[in-house]
Amino acid sequence: DTGVSQDPRHKITKRGQNVTFRCDPISEHNRLYWYRQTLGQGPEFLTYFQNEAQLEKSRLLSDRFSAERPKGSFSTLEIQRTEQGDSAMYLCASVPGGPRENAYEQYFGPGTRLTVT
């Protein structure tokens, strides 16, 4: 499978625990985006990376959230001291980049569904 993969697909955790999600983009895609989708809403932007550099963070990304993309390959999104309001689907998308017309197409992974009890 050469698409974007995310792990785990589902995570149930108790309030106050830390969780970490992983996204593996399509090989050689240099941009990687994280979005959060709550029930009944469209996805909302959280942050994105160009290779290993984190270039933009949304106001939605509180201090409890941290994202990394070491070596510009896979990315991790960590949530510390989870709250019930963090329950959502966390989506990852990767982008090939470059000057071609289709270079900015975002390819989405299946998401990680987080439930905080």
Partner 1 sequence: AQTVTQSQPEMSVQEAETVTLSCTYDTSESDYYLFWYKQPPSRQMILVIRQEAYKQQNATENRFSVNFQKAAKSFSLKISDSQLGDAAMYFCAYRRGDDKIIFGKGTRLHILP
Residues in contact with partner 1 by the rule CB under 8 A: 31, 33, 35, 40-45, 48, 56, 89, 91, 93, 95, 97, 101, 103-106, 108-111, 113
Tell me the closest approach of the beta carbon of residue 105 to partner 1, in angstroms.
7
Q: Say if strands 10-13 and 112-116 run parallel, antiparallel, or are unpaired.
A: parallel
Strand partners, 75: 23
Among the listed residues 64, 62, 11, 56, the one whose alpha carbon sits nearest the alpha carbon of residue 32? 56
CB of 45 to partner 1, least distance (A): 4
Q: How many residues in the chain?
A: 117
CB-nearer residue toward partner 1: 19 or 46: 46
DSSP-derived secondary structure letter, 9: S
The answer to whether the peptide bond before residue 8 is cis (omega within 30 degrees of 0) is yes
CA atoms within 13 A on the CB side of 77: 30
Nearer to partner 1, 43 or 116 (CB): 43
* Closest to partner 1 by CB, 80 or 107: 107
Shortest CB 26 distance to partner 1, Å: 14
Looking at beta carbons only, is 63 or 101 nearer to partner 1? 101
